[in-house]
Structure formats: C-alpha cells, structure tokens
Amino acid sequence: MKQVPLFIDGQWISSKSKRVIDVTNPATQKVIAQVPCATMDEMQKAISSAKETFKVWKDKPIMERARVMMRYAALLKEHQEELAGIICEELGKTHEDAMGDVWRGIEVVEHAANIPSMMMGETVENVATSIDTYSYTQPLGVCVGITPFNFPAMIPLWMFPLSIACGNTFILKPSEQDPLCPTRLAELFEQAGAPKGVLQVVHGDKEQVDVLLHDEAVKAISFVGSVSVGQYIYKTATDNMKRVQSFLGAKNHMVVMPDANKAAVINNIVGASVGAAGQRCMAISVAVFVGSAKEWIPEIKEKLASVRPGHYTDSEAAYGPQITPAAKNRIEDLIAIGKKEGANCVLDGSNFKVAGFPDGNWVGPTMFTDVSTEMEIYKQEIFGPVFLTMNVDSLDDAIELINANPYGNGTSIFTSSGFAARKYQHEIEVGQVGINIPIPVPLPFFSFTGWKGSFAGDQHAYGKQAVKFYTETKTITARWYDDSSDKNNADESADA
C-alpha cells in the first residue's frame, strides 16, 4: 500500500509512525493510500527545520522569493490536469470542478509573485524637524496551515505561497482525508526552486495539530475547517499567544426578488446549491423568496431533479460523492430530521444509487420547502446537496432573517433593482455579497472575508489582509546629525 510521505527539512521521508489512516476513493471505497500520523520526533524535526530555515530565508532578496512564485505558478499550470486527476480520485470531484479547485489556487500563487509591492511600508518625512518616520513589513517566523478536505489544492495554496513569499517558513498539515494533492503541490513547489526547509508537510489529526498549537516556535496559524475544530484551534493557539485566522462553517442564503431574471435564478441556484456535492463553504444552502418570487419554486425543483451525482469519468455527472460514508449518513439523518420537523421534502436524494458504483457515498439532489428558522436543517451546516427554501413578504424581512443567522460567510441577491441591491449590500451582515452572482468568492487581490460565526480572527485569507497577517510592521523614526557642524545640537535644544 502506498504510504504518503512526510516532507521534512527538504527530504521526502517515510514516517516511522505505527498509526496510519486510510485514504479512500469515495466513489468506490477502494483504499488508495495510507497517511501516517507523524511521530512526535518527526513533528519536532519539522518545526526545528522551519525555525532554522527562517533565519536564512527571511534575508533572501524579495525578488528571489517572488521568482519562486513565478516559476511555481507556471509549473502548476503545466500540471493542472494531473493535480485535478488526483483530486478526482481522492475526493471524487467532477473533472471540471477539480480543475477549478487547482485554478483558484494558481491565481493566489500568481498574486504572491507580486509580493514586493504588497510588502511596501509607509514613509513620512519631517515628522519633526529633520526627523523622518518610515515602516517596514517583516516576516513573523514559522507559520502553520491546517486545511480541510473540500479544496485540497485551493486552500493550501491560499496559505503557504503568500506566507513564504513574505519571508516566513511554513508547516502544512493537510486534511488526512485527501493528502495526495497537497503532497504533489509540495513536490512541485520544491521543483520550482523553493529552498530546502522553507515548506514542510506533516500529516495526522488532532494529536499532530496540538503539537503545532503549543510549540513556542510557531508564530501564526491559518485554519480552514469545521466550526468546533476552528473554535478550538482559535482558542488554544491564541491562549498560547499565537496569531490566528480561523475560517469556519457557513449557511449561505440567496435572496430572490420578484423582479429578478427568472432563468438566471433557476440556473444559478442549481449549480450553487448542489454543485461540488454541497461540500463548499460558499454553497447556497438556503434561498429566501420575496413575495411572488416563490411561484418559481416548482420550476427550480424540476431543474434540480434533472441533475444527478456520478463518477468523475461521467461527463454528464453534475457532482461527485460525499467524502465519507459517515458524511453521507449524517446528511441522510438530517434529511430524515427535516421531514420529522415538518419541512416539505419535495426532492429526496437519500439512498441514491449510481450505476457501476454501488459503494459510492452518493446523495442525490434534495430540496425542502417551507423551512423555518427553528428547524435543525436550517440551524446546522448540512455540507451536502440539500437545498432549503423559505418565503418572506419583503426585502426587509429577508435581511432581518439572514442577519439573525449566526454565520456570515457569503450571500447573494438576485434582482433587477439597483436600489434593492444597494440596500442589501449595505445592510446585510455577511462578509461576501454577490449581486446576481451566486457564489461571490473574491479574486486573490481582494481577501476572502467571511464574518460572524464563519470566521475568527481579524486579517482574512489572501490579498493585502493575508500579507498583514503573515508580517509584522516595524516603524522607524530617524534623525541624522551633521557631524561637521554644531548646528543640529542647537536646533535640538530649540525643539525641546
């Protein structure tokens, strides 16, 4: 059985750990690799190599660091198909979706190649007579990334390229459920000329994460994943005086106004709700229909019923399987709870079968209407292809409903009214808003700005905010004496 290697101090090593976790193909349950839970000794080696390498890497010329990113972006493009193939195998995404996962990551690497302009400080001349103040941004030291299963290319690439371009060294702990794509990302990074020790990849679960949360050498932690784990990581790491950005779960609403373009609403809802098997933190899981817009619900149901999950080799498949049998069972349990709670299940994807793949973790498109806020299916992030609808009388009611939800990752409004769109973007307490755009994920020169229960921290992923997160500002105030004259001393006493 193929064992996933660790990447420590520039060496690909086979872990000595006796504890391994199976990596399975979710369409077949075939075990495709085993991922080791790194030993404490291996964890320590990774941390000390990152700490030692930082002493050298931080002083490398900034263009040298930028050039690694330029070469890396080019290599990733060359290998985009190959990386997408790995994602299809270990996560089950459709080919198109897997290509998008890699592409979104490549865009962040391209952005990281602009690091010199993003690290520029500020200057003010003559803050007092003959005194200037200026600032530099300097890297922090060893940074850590802990990533989820659902974007095995994009999310690691949100983190290590920018952090390393800033002059830090980085330890990546990818999801144990699909570690093969992150492993290949690290191999390509090495091939792009990243020096030994700049990036380390360790594997495992809570035990390995805990080492990183407690080690004094680790200065900053980037986390993306579920609410309970993300809150634990935020609390533990900040208790240990580390800087943390923690991206958590979500429940994203789309508001549908009666004046919206109906065809656009129907087409966009289908992809945004069940696309990627609903395993997206920006998926639209609830649509709120304002007034007569609810008349379109039967057509949306028809359209949703026409899509189906399938294997990535099937070009007609709209999405793939859930990541594990446990994830599928949890979703089906929630569907059963929704029915018991009195929501109207107009489409039930439980017990879905895909010909030729009897063991896959399939859940068919599922839709509930007449959902209310106290229902469990509304309160929980389902993270599956389950779409809920709710009805309200006015835009104000929609805004009130969504603002009362504890999450704030993404939202969208479909309307032809500029006034309604402007009101919505201004009043909604959600960090990423789409206007006639269902999944408004910003490109890397902005930042990924989830709010409320979907994020803990202050500086978000990628863009200028990530550069702030991965650096410290040093402010210098300077006066230079003219040694050839006594005039400066005289000026100084006059100032005082």
Q: Establish if 173 lies at the interface with ligand NAD (CB under 6 A).
A: yes
Q: Contacts with ligand NAD: how many residues (CB under 6 A)?
A: 27
Q: Establish if 249 lies at the interface with ligand NAD (CB under 6 A).
A: yes
| Three-state secondary structure string covering the chain | CCECCEEECCEEECCCCCCEEEEECCCCCCEEEEEECCCHHHHHHHHHHHHHHHHHHCCCCHHHHHHHHHHHHHHHHHCHHHHHHHHHHHHCCCHHHHHHHHHHHHHHHHHHCCHHHHCCCCEEEEEECCEEEEEEEEECCEEEEECCCCCCCHHHHHHHHHHHHCCCEEEEECCCCCCHHHHHHHHHHHHCCCCCCCEEECCCCHHHHHHHHHCCCEEEEEEECCHHHHHHHHHHHHHCCCEEEEECCCCEEEEECCCCCHHHHHHHHHHHHHHHHHCCCCCEEEEEEEHHHHHHHHHHHHHHHCCCECCCCCCCCCECCCCCHHHHHHHHHHHHHHHHCCCEEEECCCCCCCCCCCCCCCCCCEEEECCCCCCHHHHCCCCCCEEEEEEECCHHHHHHHHHCCCEECCEEEECCCHHHHHHHHHHCCCCCEEECCCCCCCCCCCCECCEECCEECCCCECHHHHHHHCEEEEEEEEECCCCCCCHHHHHHHHHC
| Residues in region 339-358 near ligand NAD by CB under 6 A | none
**Listed ranges 35-43, 160-168, 202-210, 465-473: which one lies at the site for ligand NAD (CB under 6 A):** 202-210
Instruction: Look at strands 131-139 and 123-128 and give their pairing.
Output: antiparallel
The only residue of 42, 89, 97, 381 in contact with ligand NAD, by rule CB under 6 A: 381
Q: Establish if 385 lies at the interface with ligand NAD (CB under 6 A).
A: no
Q: Establish if 224 lies at the interface with ligand NAD (CB under 6 A).
A: yes
Q: Residues 391-410: x/- map of binding to ligand NAD (CB under 6 A)?
A: ------------------x-
**Listed ranges 70-78, 246-254, 361-369, 424-432: which one lies at the site for ligand NAD (CB under 6 A):** 246-254
Q: Residues 6-45: x/- map of binding to ligand NAD (CB under 6 A)?
A: ----------------------------------------
**Listed ranges 13-21, 223-231, 355-363, 468-476: which one lies at the site for ligand NAD (CB under 6 A):** 223-231
The only residue of 150, 168, 222, 369 in contact with ligand NAD, by rule CB under 6 A: 150
In the residue annotation, 281 being an active-site residue is answered as: yes
The catalytic position among 37, 166, 181, 281 is 281
Nearest distance from residue 281's CB to ligand NAD, in Å? 3
Q: Establish if 205 lies at the interface with ligand NAD (CB under 6 A).
A: yes
Q: Establish if 453 lies at the interface with ligand NAD (CB under 6 A).
A: no
The only residue of 44, 133, 226, 380 in contact with ligand NAD, by rule CB under 6 A: 226
The only residue of 189, 234, 368, 383 in contact with ligand NAD, by rule CB under 6 A: 383
**Closer of 139 and 278 to ligand NAD (Cβ):** 278
Nearest distance from residue 244's CB to ligand NAD, in Å? 13
**Listed ranges 53-61, 144-152, 191-199, 467-475: which one lies at the site for ligand NAD (CB under 6 A):** 144-152
**Listed ranges 105-113, 179-187, 226-234, 415-423: which one lies at the site for ligand NAD (CB under 6 A):** 226-234
**Closer of 76 and 327 to ligand NAD (Cβ):** 327
Where is 413: in which H helix or E strand? strand 411-414
Give the footprint of ligand NAD on this chain (CB under 6 A): 146-151, 173, 175-176, 205-206, 209, 224-226, 229, 232, 247-250, 281, 381, 383, 409, 450, 454
What are the catalytic residues? Answer: 281
